[in-house]
Chains A and B, each alone.
Chain A
Amino acid sequence: MRSVFETMGTVASIELAADEPDALDGIRGIFADAEKRFSLYRPGSELSRVNAGERPLAAASAELRDAYALAMDWHLRTAGAFTPNRPDGSIDLNGVVKALCISRAGELLHSLALKDWSINVGGDVLCAGLSPTGDWVIGIVDPVDRQSLLCALPLGEGRRAIATSGSAERGDHIWTIDRDTAAEFVQVSVIAEDILAADVLATAIISGGIEMLDLATDTWAIDVLAVRTDGSLLATPGVRSLISV
């Protein structure tokens, strides 16, 4: 049973095995609370007020400081490729907040003993158990023709999350490290057990290019399908084996 609602400037699609109004209300609440706190489009959000200098970061809520600390932690782990600090000095936590909310929504469903579900928010997916048709099969959009799929692959134990970032999103919360270098990838999909790692690393690879791609595949248990600017593809061994299933 699928439910759809708008949040964070995009759309969330939740699939549950049965009608679960309480679970859906809980998930809506998680996203609504985060949007109220972190939105850069709402002048009254806590983060907007911090950026406007109306509130010092040190006096911000624990939720905001925790999210910033987490983003800075990933900044260090990706050698600067991922960053919550915009070139103009303001803080943008969109790179972690959506994934954090998806992660929390997953924990909520787990705590309600729901075993089979998927959460897709703006193209970032976390799933558990089985879909009505078996494995959760995820299609990856072809950035050259967004009405068609590049490939389809199953998620499962150990790789329950997939996040895709595109270079067209840059200017939103993605900036290349070397601003003179054109982006090497137009789209990067990262498959991981954890939606936050998948989302952060997909963003970092768009921003940091092939060097960050190699660092990411060497360091974390992830799989990657990357589309270069000429439309050609790079895939890790895991992606090759998944698409041949």
Chain B
Amino acid sequence: MKRYLSCFILFVLLFMASGCAEKNSNTAIGEVPSAVERSGDELDMLLDDDFLDDELSAEQDYYDPLEPMNRVFFEFNDKLYYWVLNPLNKVYSAVLPQDVRFSVGNFINNFAAPVRLINTLLQLKLNDAGAVLARFVINSTLGVYGFGDVAWRELGIKPREGDFGQTLGYWGVGEGVYLCLPVIGPSNIRDTVGFVTDSYSHPMVFFVDDFLVSAGYYSLERVNVLSLNPDAYEDLKKYSLDPYVSMRQVYLDYRRKKFDHNN
């Protein structure tokens, strides 16, 4: 019964998202604000990156002793993508227009704000924590339950990040062995612990205590992200000589850059 109620609430929220998106449709939704806004910092990161200046340096910058097992799960996830995720996305994208999916993405992000608040606080980043809190309050009210990002668009408060994997890193825990987890995908020991821990500080836990609903919500999040970047995985496969290595490199590099940048 509770599950049906949750599904119903989800449906109502989606419905509201479409209404909300229509009102905002002229505010250039496809503009990836975060990517553009952070451009300056990203360029600095590119310039500070001198790994290739000396071809003899940094021969091995990952630790992947579980590669044979990881490759099995990589293949499993590959099948999962083509057999489940991608077909789901096709239907999802056909039913909901892109601006609605953007709003759904906003909602999902906003709903996870407590996770970011806790982790920015644990990393003693009070400015970021303040921004997370302000964004949550503004977007949950003026942004209609978080479907619109009013805080960024109207007030210029940029999104901040914080997860428990980063928090562990902040306090000196190493990233550990690289992992390719079934369903979840690329990770490492530190981020896996972070992922599990964060799931306990996610507000979802306080609303529903039902694995299937949580799994459903996680799936919605995954499909929504995929629907906004539909070519990402297939491009990776198309362009790489070894997709497993390519994905490992992308993941570790992405996480490290983000970490270095935030500290």
Q: Is B truly associated with A?
A: no
